[in-house]
Amino acid sequence: MLKKAIFGGTFDPIHIGHLHIAYETLYNLHLDKILFMPAGNPPHKNNKKITDAKIRYDLVKKAIESEAYFEISDYEINKDENSYTYETIEVFSELQPNIDWYFLIGVDSLMDLDKWKNVERILSSCKLVVYNRAGFTVEDVANQLRYIEQKFNEKIIFIDMPIIDISSTNIRNNIKIGRNVDYLLPKGVDEIIHEFNLYK
């Protein structure tokens, strides 16, 4: 059975830290593919200004176009209503039942996981994979993993990968004040950002 992980996010913009996370997950779990899923209307970011979904999709598509193990889906950006993780995973599980599905989130998302909509349906439809991020202690992570596993009676996979501390927020802020960030972006992504004059 093929093994795929869904890697969701706003990717506003996608950067080399995202590719690092994807490859570390691919290698650590011996996956066949990573499916990048740019978010359409994330319910937790309704009050934030997010770049047009089609542009964010094109940024991700450009970033992974030469990567044999990476794929992209426009499922969430084509939805008119809010995108909930449990719905996305259940749809893909039904469309491709021969795939062993994983879902990838950062430790920051793990800390709020019990507030997500229908968490138990997420955990029953896929294997949840958590990667570490800067700003969280080993004790913080261990305690939250234990809490979630006990609350929902499901095992969570944690990958203690090397941290590349890059954020889309910092990239946007640096572009806004005129700093060069091209070295933080996958090949070709900088060209789209310059073409559409994004984040100015």
What pLDDT shows up at residue 49?
Answer: 83
Instruction: Tell me, yes or no, whether 109 lies in a domain.
Output: yes
Mark 42-65 as b/e (b = at least 16 C-beta within 10 Å): beeeeeeeebebebbbbbbbbbbe
Q: Residue 32 — very low, low, confident or very high, per pLDDT cuts 50/70/90?
A: very high
Task: Examine the pLDDT at 48 and tell me if it is beyond 80.
Answer: no
| CATH number of the CATH domain containing 35 | 3.40.50.620
- Sheet with 2-9, strands from edge to edge, namely 70-72, 33-38, 2-9, 99-106, 127-131, 157-159
- Mean pLDDT, the chain, as a whole number? 94
d(CA 67, CA 192): 18
Instruction: Tell me, yes or no, whether 187 lies in a domain.
Output: no
Instruction: Tell me, yes or no, whether 195 lies in a domain.
Output: no
Instruction: Tell me, yes or no, whether 85 lies in a domain.
Output: yes
d(CA 137, CA 44): 24
HSE (CB half, 13 Å, CA atoms) of 118?
12
Tell me: the pLDDT tens digits for 1-10? 999 999 999 9
Give the number of domains in the chain: 1
Task: Examine the pLDDT at 168 and tell me if it is beyond 70.
Answer: yes
Instruction: Tell me, yes or no, whether 191 lies in a domain.
Output: no
List the one residue out of 82, 127, 138 whose CA is nearest residue 105: 127
Q: Model-level pTM?
A: 0.94
Instruction: Tell me, yes or no, whether 198 lies in a domain.
Output: no
Instruction: Tell me, yes or no, whether 101 lies in a domain.
Output: yes
Task: Examine the pLDDT at 46 and tell me if it is beyond 90.
Answer: no
Q: What is the dihedral of CA 69, 92, 114, 60, to 10 degrees?
A: 40
Instruction: Tell me, yes or no, whether 23 lies in a domain.
Output: yes
* Cα distances (angstroms) measured from residue 62 to each of 42, 71, 136, 189: 22, 11, 31, 6
Range of the domain at 83: 2-165
Tell me: the pLDDT tens digits for 78-103? 988 888 999 999 999 999 999 999 99
Residue 162 DSSP class = P
- Specify the range with the lowest mean pLDDT, choosing from 81-90, 121-130, 141-150, 165-174: 81-90
Q: Residue 53 — very low, low, confident or very high, per pLDDT cuts 50/70/90?
A: very high
Task: Examine the pLDDT at 132 and tell me if it is beyond 60.
Answer: yes
What pLDDT shows up at residue 42?
Answer: 59
